[in-house]
A and B are shown apart, each in its own frame.
Chain A
Amino acid sequence: MEKLCFKHNLFHNDEGLVRVPFLIKGRLAVPPEISREQIEDVFSLIDKSATYIKLPQAQIVREPIIDRRSMKYTGKCLYHVMPAVIGPELVETDRDKLARGLYTLSTEDILEYLQSIQSALLRNRTLISRVREICRLTSELPDALLDGWFDSFPSAFNREAARQMIDNELAFWGKPGSDFLNGWVELPAAVPSGVLRQRVGGLFGPNISATAHAENISVRAMPTCQLHITAGNAPEVPIISALRAVLTKSAAVIKLPYGAILSGVLFSLAAYAANPEHPITKSLSMVYWQGGDDTIESILFGPNAFDRIVVWGSPETMVSVQSRALLTRTICLNPRYSVSLIGREAFSGNLEETALKASMDVMIHNQKACTASLVNFIEGTEQQANHYAGILGEILKKWDQEMPGFVSPSAIGQIKRMRRGRYANARWYINNRGDDFSSGTVVIPGEFDVLDHPMCRLVVVQPVNNLEDVLKSLNQSVSTVSVYPESRRLELRDRIFARGVSNILPLGQSERLYAGMPHDGMVVLSQLVDWKNG
């Protein structure tokens, strides 16, 4: 990996300019030489808020640099220089090639492949550190979370975890998923005689072969051609998508998101360095283009270009993709949010400990993850809610000291809008860093529109007479509900599930993730393969 980087001058921060390669169906595409002055000249011609420029041979993304001490924009920018992408080049048209090559791989081959990537990453820790420092320049994640993610990055390709995902997510008829991925699996299914077979003997005589009962019932999980449109709220999103494509041994295009381009590229560079000729590498593309670029998307969203489109992201992205890819099966990992339910038992126990657990559900990806809790419903009086909000505010202050978070200008503006607008009557407990918001809680006894939430360590505390009162506000937009105490969780669990919520977990455990875990109500690998009868 280092050699490749040296050869093509990749992943070096050259005075705010970083050259970033793409993997395009096994080919390492590198960007052309272009100077910072040339880039700034081009950007100076367009709106100063622009973050992207498409040139004939290159694409450039501009990201604002964040000062890690103050966690505020410095006014300087980092430019990612990337190669151009051509739509038709991304689409796999030779399905026979896939049937002869990629689709014949065994589960062991896949696991070997992942292990080789893991080894490549472990051998290139210096490079990973360098990429981490480049990411740190613009990452909105606190340093501790960013470091934690990079430290654990190679373990994402752990052989046993991967096997567990395949065996559990593709399990069928009590058999492990790897069986179905490896080939046809005979099932002990009792097949009733069809009406036609019952009649055929009477019409044409009992001895013809058409009357024979089918003995072998076989099913197979066939790979698919996949397009993944990923989101940048967390660096692992493009990695999860790529991993799912690899585990289903599928030809895939992963669209990297603004804000998390480098993590995906690092994976693809490892894939290329470790296994340049491997059928998986030859069928994998990890690229960036600006969302909405019709020269690319009109090709990719066209009929038969892909068998599956996986979309992570904003409601606008969902609507846009679904409306343009009408004939392709789309798997939507919708934008969702999470809440916590805290029973009145908390006030007779250790309230500080309860608030600490609640804060752990708040802090997930700096409250950007769909599993991060935005609203804490407190079973109690408004006075009790205020007491709790004060304690939680103090705990968040400690998190701020330990893990200073980035609060975007728009989020700062939104909090001011809330405080001086619709929620001006609410009681606010704000922690500041300098003059600016760093975290806080607000007690809103009445109506709250979750679309107003800025998702930056702000907890909306809502008092309710009874936790059951919250049920009416739960729906499919809610990903996770964390509940305290456990007895109330078990009591409410099925009623919460009935409203479309995906995860109901003990308070403080919303971060929970494991290989083979259902995601947004789906076992995603199972959605990504085609289940064939043969």
Chain B
Amino acid sequence: MKNILSNLIKLSREWASGGKINPDEARALRNEAILNNHAHYLANIPLYQKLAGEEGCGIDIDIPTIKHKLMFTSQVFKSYEQVWLDDSDFGRMTQWLSGIYDKRIDVDVSGVKTIDEWIERLDTNGIHIVYSSGTSGEFSFIPRDKQDWELSRTVNINCLAPILADRMAENALSGRWLESAVKLVSPDIFASIAGKRGLPDFDAFFLGFRQGRMGNHVLIEEIAPLFKRHYFLYDTTIAGTTLRMMRRGARTKKEQQQLSQYKEEIMAQEDSKYLRLIENIRKSTNNEQKVIIFGAPYQFLQLCKSLNDQNRQLSLTKGSYVFFGGGWKSFTGEAISRETLVSKLSDSLGIPPLMILEGYSMTEINVLMLRCEHGRFHIPPIIEPVILDEELNPLSDKDVKGAFGFLDPLAVSYPGFIISGDYVHLIDGECDCGLTGPSIIEIGRMPGSEVKGCGGIMASMGT
């Protein structure tokens, strides 16, 4: 299995660097990995065993049957009872988590009182939990073992570095070493070299918290050390317990006090925090250091507003970037137009639209899809996208709209055949940017799905 995945990642890296790959070879590798995962899930993941049993599926199966019968929805990662969290019953939570994990979790959780402590306790036992939330405040918990975690990191560096290097001319990640590395080295070594070289000619600014366990926080922690300097809008940790309390409301007087105190500390001084970040961006720019700013769309709007309120504009050093992702709607339901945001950012930060990047991902998947200059989120060949109709039957066409699902071969320790809550328009074919294969050109939410995603949940902090 390791060889299959390694070859798939190499193939994906070649694809990301614009090289011609053999789609049949990619499909064969992907299918092999998916079928291996099916056998692994069937043997080791209790909830998958249950579903397969109900659907009459055994070890001998084909990919269409998996798409038709064995894809979970992303809600499976919240198929626990809220009252267990309310009552700090982490024994039940652990038992539930065992149902969607490929190893029995025998972790002693006695004395654990909060979500954060639970996550820490599992972490010390090799189970890495990432969570996401929606408007309801019901968390999805996705468990990964160390190997899955490393694999996810490796694949993203292998796929993203060549694409980004193409746009980041004259930086540490580009140049001849990359061309050679793409062709020659293994995914592990590639990731290791890319990690060591880093991006010392960039300062990074994150419109979020220094630490946390939501999908975006985890990404931040991974990539922050790559840069010469890095700054956070909130130089603190966001606790899962607090986040849940903010969405679901305080239940006790003590929780109410905690919540008020938190809001006072974090939210009441939001303007000054943006101004402090702007000041640091200005300093980097004055030192002719390139900057890269990460955040959610609504946060960039706030950044632009703060600059506008101060009657200020920045002119970022040539080669600087803005990178956003996490949804276009805030929890208040206010839709943000991409064109409006790009125009504001371009004006406020003095940055050409081409340097404004957008990514699409979700906590349940192990890759980040980048939007190219032609408006397509390209899906690396390591992922098998599945578009499903209203009845959740898979559609097969080169131009389809429906629920976005995927078979993710990188998900070994948890079921990676997932139907998301997103409604997308997917097309398949060559793009003018040079990349080939399936890509997403429109993203919305399925009717009835709550607003979700890091951008959405961050927006909720102020509501």
Q: Does B390 contact A (CB under 8 A)?
A: yes
A-B contact pairs, 24 of them (CB 8 A): A409-B389, A409-B390, A409-B391, A410-B391, A412-B390, A413-B389, A413-B390, A416-B391, A417-B75, A417-B419, A420-B71, A420-B73, A421-B76, A422-B75, A422-B76, A422-B78, A424-B50, A424-B72, A424-B76, A424-B79, A436-B391, A446-B81, A447-B82, A451-B448
Are the CB atoms of B83 and A420 closer together than 8 Å?
no
> How many chain B residues have a CB neighbour from A under 8 Å?
24
Q: Does A423 contact B (CB under 8 A)?
A: yes
Residues of chain B with a CB closer than 8 A to A124's CB: none
Residues of chain B with a CB closer than 8 A to A381's CB: none
**Closest Cβ of chain A: how far from B309's Cβ, in Å?**
32
A262 to B389, CA, bound (A): 30
A420 to B419, CA, bound (A): 9
Are the CB atoms of B83 and A447 closer together than 8 Å?
yes
Q: What band does the interface of chain A fall in when counting residues whose beta carbon is under 8 Å from B?
A: 10 to 19
Residues of chain A with a CB closer than 8 A to B78's CB: 422
Q: Does A344 contact B (CB under 8 A)?
A: no
**Closest Cβ of chain B: how far from A494's Cβ, in Å?**
28
Residues of chain B with a CB closer than 8 A to A419's CB: 51, 54
Q: A410-B390, A417-B75, A420-B51 are in contact. List 5 more A-B contacts (CB 8 A).
A: A409-B391, A420-B72, A422-B76, A424-B50, A425-B79
Q: Does B355 contact A (CB under 8 A)?
A: no
Chain B interface, >50% SS class? mixed
A424 to B50, CA, bound (A): 8
A410 to B393, CA, bound (A): 11
**Closest Cβ of chain B: how far from A414's Cβ, in Å?**
8
- Taken residue by residue from 35 to 57, chain A's Cβ proximity to chain B (1 for < 8 Å, 0 otherwise) reads as 00000000000000000000000
**Closest Cβ of chain A: how far from B437's Cβ, in Å?**
26
Residues of chain B with a CB closer than 8 A to A446's CB: 81, 83
With contacts A447-B81, A447-B82, A447-B83 taken as known, whether A421 is within 8 angstroms of B391 at the C-beta atoms is: no
Residues of chain B with a CB closer than 8 A to A422's CB: 73, 75-76, 78-79
- Taken residue by residue from 428 to 463, chain B's Cβ proximity to chain A (1 for < 8 Å, 0 otherwise) reads as 000000000000000000001000000000000000
Chain A interface, >50% SS class? mixed
Are the CB atoms of A417 and B99 closer together than 8 Å?
no
Are the CB atoms of A421 and B81 closer together than 8 Å?
no
**Closest Cβ of chain B: how far from A64's Cβ, in Å?**
12
Q: Does A428 contact B (CB under 8 A)?
A: yes
**Closest Cβ of chain A: how far from B404's Cβ, in Å?**
14
**Closest Cβ of chain B: how far from A170's Cβ, in Å?**
41
**Closest Cβ of chain A: how far from B316's Cβ, in Å?**
41
**Closest Cβ of chain B: how far from A343's Cβ, in Å?**
24
Task: Look across to chain A and name the residue whose beta carbon is closest to the beta carbon of B92.
Answer: A446
**Closest Cβ of chain A: how far from B230's Cβ, in Å?**
37
Tell me the B372-411 residues at the A interface (CB within 8 Å). Answer: 388-392
Are the CB atoms of B76 and A420 closer together than 8 Å?
yes
Residues of chain A with a CB closer than 8 A to B81's CB: 446-447
Task: Look across to chain B and name the residue whose beta carbon is closest to the beta carbon of A408.
Answer: B390
Tell me the A446-490 residues at the B interface (CB within 8 Å). Answer: 446-447, 451
Task: Look across to chain B and name the residue whose beta carbon is closest to the beta carbon of A445.
Answer: B81
A410 to B51, CA, bound (A): 21
Q: Does B291 contact A (CB under 8 A)?
A: no
**Closest Cβ of chain B: how far from A405's Cβ, in Å?**
16
Q: Does B363 contact A (CB under 8 A)?
A: no
A136 to B64, CA, bound (A): 35
**Closest Cβ of chain A: how far from B234's Cβ, in Å?**
31
Q: Does B11 contact A (CB under 8 A)?
A: no
**Closest Cβ of chain A: how far from B418's Cβ, in Å?**
10
**Closest Cβ of chain A: how far from B444's Cβ, in Å?**
14
A436 to B390, CA, bound (A): 13
**Closest Cβ of chain B: how far from A279's Cβ, in Å?**
45
Q: Does B74 contact A (CB under 8 A)?
A: yes
With contacts A446-B81, A447-B82, A447-B83 taken as known, whether A424 is within 8 angstroms of B390 at the C-beta atoms is: no
Residues of chain B with a CB closer than 8 A to A420's CB: 51, 71-73, 76, 419
A346 to B47, CA, bound (A): 32
A469 to B22, CA, bound (A): 61
A82 to B50, CA, bound (A): 51
Tell me the A430-450 residues at the B interface (CB within 8 Å). Answer: 436, 446-447
Residues of chain A with a CB closer than 8 A to B419's CB: 417, 420
Task: Look across to chain B and name the residue whose beta carbon is closest to the beta carbon of A416.
Answer: B392
Are the CB atoms of A413 and B392 closer together than 8 Å?
yes
Are the CB atoms of B73 and A421 closer together than 8 Å?
yes
Residues of chain A with a CB closer than 8 A to B392's CB: 412-413, 416-417
Tell me the A103-126 residues at the B interface (CB within 8 Å). Answer: none
Are the CB atoms of A421 and B390 closer together than 8 Å?
no
**Closest Cβ of chain A: how far from B97's Cβ, in Å?**
12
**Closest Cβ of chain B: how far from A36's Cβ, in Å?**
26
Task: Look across to chain A and name the residue whose beta carbon is closest to the beta carbon of B77.
Answer: A421
A212 to B51, CA, bound (A): 84
Task: Look across to chain B and name the residue whose beta carbon is closest to the beta carbon of A410.
Answer: B390
With contacts A422-B75, A422-B78, A422-B79 taken as known, whether A413 is within 8 angstroms of B391 at the C-beta atoms is: yes
Residues of chain B with a CB closer than 8 A to A423's CB: 79
Residues of chain A with a CB closer than 8 A to B388's CB: 413
A416 to B74, CA, bound (A): 12
- Taken residue by residue from 66 to 98, chain B's Cβ proximity to chain A (1 for < 8 Å, 0 otherwise) reads as 000001111110110111000000000000100
Residues of chain A with a CB closer than 8 A to B389's CB: 409, 413
Residues of chain B with a CB closer than 8 A to A428's CB: 54
Are the CB atoms of A421 and B75 closer together than 8 Å?
yes
Tell me the B310-351 residues at the A interface (CB within 8 Å). Answer: none
Task: Look across to chain A and name the residue whose beta carbon is closest to the beta carbon of B47.
Answer: A424
**Closest Cβ of chain A: how far from B399's Cβ, in Å?**
13
Residues of chain A with a CB closer than 8 A to B71's CB: 420
Complex A-B, nearest 7 residue pairs according to Cβ-Cβ distance, in ascending order: A421-B75, A421-B73, A409-B390, A446-B81, A422-B75, A416-B392, A412-B391
Residues of chain A with a CB closer than 8 A to B50's CB: 424-425
A423 to B78, CA, bound (A): 9
**Closest Cβ of chain B: how far from A316's Cβ, in Å?**
11
**Closest Cβ of chain B: how far from A508's Cβ, in Å?**
31
**Closest Cβ of chain B: how far from A129's Cβ, in Å?**
33
Are the CB atoms of A425 and B75 closer together than 8 Å?
no
**Closest Cβ of chain B: how far from A332's Cβ, in Å?**
22
Residues of chain B with a CB closer than 8 A to A451's CB: 448
**Closest Cβ of chain B: how far from A409's Cβ, in Å?**
4
**Closest Cβ of chain B: how far from A427's Cβ, in Å?**
9
- Taken residue by residue from 328 to 364, chain A's Cβ proximity to chain B (1 for < 8 Å, 0 otherwise) reads as 0000000000000000000000000000000000000
Are the CB atoms of A421 and B79 closer together than 8 Å?
yes
A410 to B74, CA, bound (A): 18
Residues of chain B with a CB closer than 8 A to A436's CB: 391
**Closest Cβ of chain B: how far from A440's Cβ, in Å?**
12
A185 to B72, CA, bound (A): 67
Residues of chain A with a CB closer than 8 A to B54's CB: 419, 428
Are the CB atoms of B51 and A424 closer together than 8 Å?
yes
- Taken residue by residue from 266 to 280, chain B's Cβ proximity to chain A (1 for < 8 Å, 0 otherwise) reads as 000000000000000
Are the CB atoms of B47 and A417 closer together than 8 Å?
no
Are the CB atoms of A421 and B99 closer together than 8 Å?
no
